Amino acid sequence: GASAVMAALSAAGVEGEGFTFLGFPPTKAKDRTRWFERFRKARIEVPVVFFEAPHRVLRTLGELAFLSNDQLVVFRELTKLHETVYRGTPQEIIAALTMVAGEFTVVAPVIPDASSERERPPDDEVVRLFGQITDKRGREAAREVAEATGLSANEVYEIVRRAKN
């Protein structure tokens, strides 16, 4: 029930201001794809909580492992007599699940977006990196610098163009 969400967040000990509750993952493949995209995007800002049915929990954990395999906290029969808590990656939790019965509540802590964590390099560093790549054409060199710096190839190209003027 509704109390399972708050109990799970409290017991999981996750950090974040607020949370997103996504209910149950849908059963249709197309809807599941959209749901997992919402799940992935929401985790960048806040913890995500959802429920899963016992006959689908292993499938969902397997899809989460494929998606990112980050740490989760899974509660079985939360707030009930036979409550069980599993912490770890989806693969670790799948291996530890001895009883796939009862209600499942999953808490996914915040995972910062890697691109937002990366610090933007100074323009002169971008120009220096671009200048070091002499064995490739401009577009290929821009792509290589973009990959190394977290910028887009267009941003790299624009920085290099400005530096030449």
Q: What is the pLDDT of residues 39-58, one digit of tens each?
A: 988 888 899 999 999 999 99
Cα separation, 10 vs 26, whole angstroms: 26
pTM, to two decimals: 0.65
Q: Which two tokens stand for residue 67?
A: 């998606």
For 96-121, what is the mean pLDDT? 76
DSSP output for 14-39? ---SS-EE--SPPSSHHHHHHHHHHH
Cα separation, 86 vs 124, whole angstroms: 48
Name, of 16-20, 34-38, 152-156, the range with top average pLDDT. Answer: 34-38
Composition of the chain by helix, strand, coil, percent to 5: 50, 15, 40
pLDDT of 26 reads: 93
What percent of the chain has pLDDT above 90?
Answer: 27
